[in-house]
Amino acid sequence: MVFAASKALAGYVSEEELASNRLYPPLTKIRDISAQIAAAVIMTAVADGVAKAPKVAQKTKDELVQFVKESMFDPRY
């Protein structure tokens, strides 16, 4: 699952950012990228059989990302 998270994060660093010697995408995208990473980890955990979540296991990646976004804490008051 750590590999799935690392691979997902690496996929969001653009060629331009890499050329600028950046290892991570900008913080302005943190919520969207975090949801993508969480979805990748969930999919890996279900595929590996270490997570039993029937409702989640039936979702597509896009549906999982949306589910994660809806479940995230929003620090607005």
Q: Which token pair is 31?
A: 């919520």
Which pTM does this prediction carry? 0.84
What is the number of domains present in the chain?
Answer: 1
For residue 6, is pLDDT > 90? Answer: yes
| 77 is a domain residue | no
C-alpha span between 43 and 26 (Å, rounded): 25
| Domain limits for position 42 | 2-71
Instruction: Find where tokens 């290892």 sit.
Output: 23
Q: Which token pair is 55?
A: 């409702």
Query: pLDDT tens digit string along 14-52?
Result: 999 999 999 899 899 999 999 999 999 999 998 898 988
CB 72 within 8 A of CB 34: yes
pLDDT confidence of residue 49: 87
| 59 is a domain residue | yes
| 7 is a domain residue | yes
Maximum pairwise Cα distance, the chain: 42
